[in-house]
C-alpha cells in the first residue's frame, strides 16, 4: 500500500487559572511524493503544529491582557 497523503493534528489545553482554560488545536496536511520519507514529513508537520500552538498561545495571552477578554 502506498500512502499519498499524511495529516497531523495536535492540540493542547492551557490552564489560565481562576477556573479558565484555553484549548488550541492545529492541523497540517501534506501530499507525499515518491521520494518523500513518511517519517520525515510526519516530523516536519508535527514541528509546524507545535510552533503554531506556541505562537497562537502567545498571541492569545497578549489579547487577554488587552480588552478582548473580560
Is position 25 within any domain? yes
What is the phi/psi pair of residue 41, to 5°?
-70, -40
**Sign of the alpha-carbon torsion through 28, 8, 13, 48:** negative
Mean pLDDT lowest among 4-13, 22-31, 40-49, 60-69? 60-69
> How many structural domains are present in the chain?
1
Whether the predicted model's global pTM rises above the 0.85 cut:
no
- On the question of pLDDT at 70 being above 60, the answer is no
Is position 70 within any domain? no
Helix (H, G, I), strand (E, B) or coil at 2: coil
Is position 51 within any domain? yes
Question: What range defines the domain where residue 35 resides?
Answer: 5-65
Is position 39 within any domain? yes
Question: DSSP string of 12-39?
Answer: EEEEEETTEEEEEEEEEEEEPPTT--HH
Q: What grid cell was written down for 6? A: 499524511
pLDDT tens digits, 3-35:
899 999 999 999 988 899 999 999 999 999 989
Is position 59 within any domain? yes
- Rounded CA-CA distance 11/13 in Å is 7
Amino acid at each position: 500500500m502506498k500512502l499519498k497523503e499524511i495529516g497531523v493534528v495536535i492540540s493542547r489545553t492551557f490552564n489560565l487559572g481562576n477556573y479558565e482554560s484555553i484549548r488550541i488545536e492545529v492541523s497540517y496536511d501534506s501530499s507525499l511524493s515518491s521520494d518523500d520519507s513518511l517519517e520525515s514529513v510526519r516530523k516536519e508537520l508535527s514541528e509546524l503544529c507545535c510552533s503554531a500552538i506556541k505562537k497562537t498561545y502567545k498571541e492569545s495571552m497578549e489579547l487577554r491582557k488587552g480588552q478582548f477578554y473580560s
